[in-house]
Structure 1
Amino acid sequence: MNISLELMLFYFTSFFTLINPLGVMPIFMTMTDSLDEATKRATAKKSTLVAFILLVFFALTGQILFRFFGITVDSLKIVGGVIFFYLGQDMLQARLAKTKVKDSEVKSYTNDISITPLAIPMICGPGAITNAIVLMEETSTFAQQVLLILSIVLVSFVVYIILRNSSKLYRFLGETGNNVLMRLMGLIVMVIAIEFIISGLKPIIRDIFMLN
């Protein structure tokens, strides 16, 4: 029982750290600034649901898909790192544009941002996808696989709660506090981006030198 709890805690903390919902929150607040509360909640729900489905999908089929398409985790890290870097740069300068949406375009707009960039790559990013694939590959029993899926369910729920209540936190922090939070998270996102790029490039460069 204790081993199961420890394993569950390990799975949960690894996903929570890689997803970093506090880093997603400023982007969510910025992109949904002109929407009403009900639409914000619906957007948070859809984005976390899409991210959850994708994480479970990659956990169950990731290795098969990667082999079929000839995709490597290293390539995924590099692409994700580039995306994160540019996003973090905008966050660092607190210049993410607050989009004004017409009433007739609210539905299509929320559908768009729910999937990208919120679900992909902010919540279900290369780090979380890689984590799901690697952890599932390392499981040796069906019980461990169930614990892994349950941890994805739990962390997705926590992300949803944070995004759903982001407006309350925004009002508590105010515009200045939100800008400070966004700059801080932007710096963290850029550091994570560099780590992704470097960790993705290392084995590729190593293979090049080995071939030579």
Structure 2
Amino acid sequence: MDLKPLITLLAIVNPLAIVPFFIHYTQGFSRAQRRNTVWVSSVSAFVVIAVSALLGLQILEFFGISLASFQVGGALLLLTGALNMLNAQPAEAKTSTHELEDGAEKAAQGASIAVVPLTIPLLTGPATMSTVVIYADKAKTFLQLGTLLGYGVVIALATALCFSLAEPIARVLGKTGINVMTRLMGLILAALAVEVMADGLSKLFPALMH
């Protein structure tokens, strides 16, 4: 069983790095409200991964985008996310502070912060989606595709676990511990991004293989 897709997704999603955001956005929530936020965030993360795996290739075909081009573009997103993580920022944190505060204001008006901004873009954004599509193309059998969806379930469970234990994790690891973990995952992600980019470039420019 190839665990590389799971390792890559765990490195990108990295729910540990989102724990401080979860604590920030759920301040003042009751225990029931916080549990609901954990559940919705976890399920939403799985839905994003599942939709990307099952329909991502069809969407690319509809827009006439080759997988090789998508691989190179996706690898650039991965590399950008890795650079963010090496600076101890979430891989998918591409929005400004003001945009995140706008998300909080929408939550106060009734919109669920579990989906925006916790799931999209902090947990699963463009880098996650492009990675799932790339690995879905490599899935040659229903078993392999099912395994990829199973990895989505693992990501959802990891998210639920980290968010459920948010306050203990923050106390034990502290800001320094979370930053160290984020930088380590960023280094792994950078190496994986280079590998994906090399594969895409070799398909776009076969002469590079020689």
1:81 maps to 2:75: yes
Matched to 1:119, the amino acid is: T
SS of aligned partner of 2:24: coil
Unmatched 5+ stretches in structure 1: 1-9
**Paired residues of 1:44 and 1:163 also in contact (CA < 8 A):** no
**Paired residues of 2:48 and 2:129 also in contact (CA < 8 A):** no
In 2, the alpha carbon distance for the partners of 1:69 and 1:201 equals: 20
**Paired residues of 1:85 and 1:194 also in contact (CA < 8 A):** yes
Equivalent residues, number: 194
**Comparing 179-188 and 34-43, the one that deviates more:** 34-43
1:131 is matched with which residue: 135, 138, 141? 135
2:116 is matched with which residue: 112, 118, 126? 112
Larger fraction in helix: 1
2:153 is matched with which residue? 154
**Comparing 78-87 and 200-209, the one that deviates more:** 200-209
Displacement of 1:23: 5.7
**Paired residues of 1:21 and 1:159 also in contact (CA < 8 A):** no
In 2, the alpha carbon distance for the partners of 1:103 and 1:63 equals: 30
- In structure 2, relative to structure 1, the CA distance for the partners of 1:74 and 1:145 (3 Å cut) is closer
1:35 maps to 2:25: yes
In 2, the alpha carbon distance for the partners of 1:150 and 1:209 equals: 32
Q: Cα RMSD between the aligned structures?
A: 3.7
1:66 is matched with which residue? 60
Q: Normalising to structure 2: TM-score of the pair?
A: 0.69
Displacement of 1:172: 1.0
1:50 is matched with which residue? 44
- In structure 2, relative to structure 1, the CA distance for the partners of 1:183 and 1:160 (3 Å cut) is closer
Displacement of 1:84: 2.0
Unmatched 5+ stretches in structure 2: none
Displacement of 1:203: 0.8
% identity of equivalent residues: 23
Q: Normalising to structure 1: TM-score of the pair?
A: 0.69
**Comparing 183-192 and 90-99, the one that deviates more:** 90-99
